[in-house]
A = this chain, B = another copy of it.
């Protein structure tokens, strides 16, 4: 299946000769989550809640960022740029480096110090980007990107580039296409706040065109230590193990608040232990391994269920933004295996397994 710009061409106004740079992103699975559904019903006391997981970790570079990057990089090529640049907690840089490589552009990446998951760093390296790790956080990295962007020598592909959100809105389209209508509620992690804004844009477009009959409540979840929208002010030193949403001054702050208010939704926060519990539940009960930050959506749903914010007979989608393989260290830290090293002897192995 073609990538999102070809599949949803009618929702864009680029010219016929637009140079589409695509890795056949999108078309990610919507996986039923029977065990999460049961848990939500148990916590909320509401029957017949149907939960689905939009597993964006199965995009070509392992996160939802690919949907926006195909458009941003295509536009950079169309405009004659030779260099693209971004600040990143890891997923944006992986996507930029991959699409940049495919387009034959030079990709420049600025990472915050010390908190980028191993898999994401390995991607930027292997795709051939130039990488600077700064002694500072994501927000400082983005400030530098903005400054370098103003020189006109590089094309900024962070989500302040409007083509990013325009691409990401296709996540909402796909949900509606598969479900036959919009869900009742969308649960989604909030970091830089671009994705919740983009999904809302997509849901509005589908409803305005009559393709869907309704618009979902947008329920965004920040990490408790990095929750500027919840608290109503910037967080100077955001802290959370959910590194992909460790952002104290979201670029799409106003758009996210508008999505929340227009949809009758909410933006709330979940603690690191709640995120880890959801991350473990997803892997060990549903068989879906996302990155810790992605589990903020499911952690938020569990919290909402406990607070009686979930309605009976509702269809709920949780967006899982990134692939758990991006963060093997967290999986090893938070997994709880029965594990041993043994000689190659079937009796000893059988004994260990209790067979």
Closest to A117 in B: B328
* A119, A141, A331: residue with the most chain B Cβ atoms closer than 10 Å: A119
**In the A-B complex, the 4 residue pairs with the closest CB atoms:** A136-B344, A125-B335, A102-B287, A24-B29
Contact A60 B287 (CB under 8 A): yes
Give how many copies assemble into the complex. 2
Pick the contact of A350 from B124, B148, B324, B340 — CB < 8 Å?
B148
Q: Which residues of B contact A325 (CB under 8 A)?
A: 62, 119, 122-123, 323, 325-326
Q: A126 at the A/B interface (Cβ < 8 Å)?
A: yes
Known: A102-B285, A122-B329, A130-B337. 8 other contacts (CB 8 A): A1-B29, A122-B335, A125-B335, A126-B332, A132-B340, A136-B344, A154-B355, A325-B326
Minimum CB–CB distance for A216 against chain B, Å: 21
Known: A123-B325, A130-B353, A324-B123. A27 touches B24 (CB 8 A): no
- Complex CA–CA separation, A136 to B342 (angstroms): 9
Q: List 13 A-B contacts (CB under 8 A).
A: A23-B29, A23-B31, A60-B288, A101-B285, A102-B286, A126-B289, A132-B353, A133-B340, A134-B343, A135-B343, A144-B349, A151-B355, A154-B353
| Contacting residues of chain A (114-140) with chain B, CB-CB under 8 angstroms | 118-119, 121-136, 140
| Contacting residues of chain A (72-112) with chain B, CB-CB under 8 angstroms | 83, 85, 97-102, 108, 110
| Contacting residues of chain A (338-353) with chain B, CB-CB under 8 angstroms | 338-346, 349-350, 352-353
Contact B144 A288 (CB under 8 A): no
Contact B60 A126 (CB under 8 A): no
Closest to A1 in B: B29
Q: Which residues of B contact A99 (CB under 8 A)?
A: 287
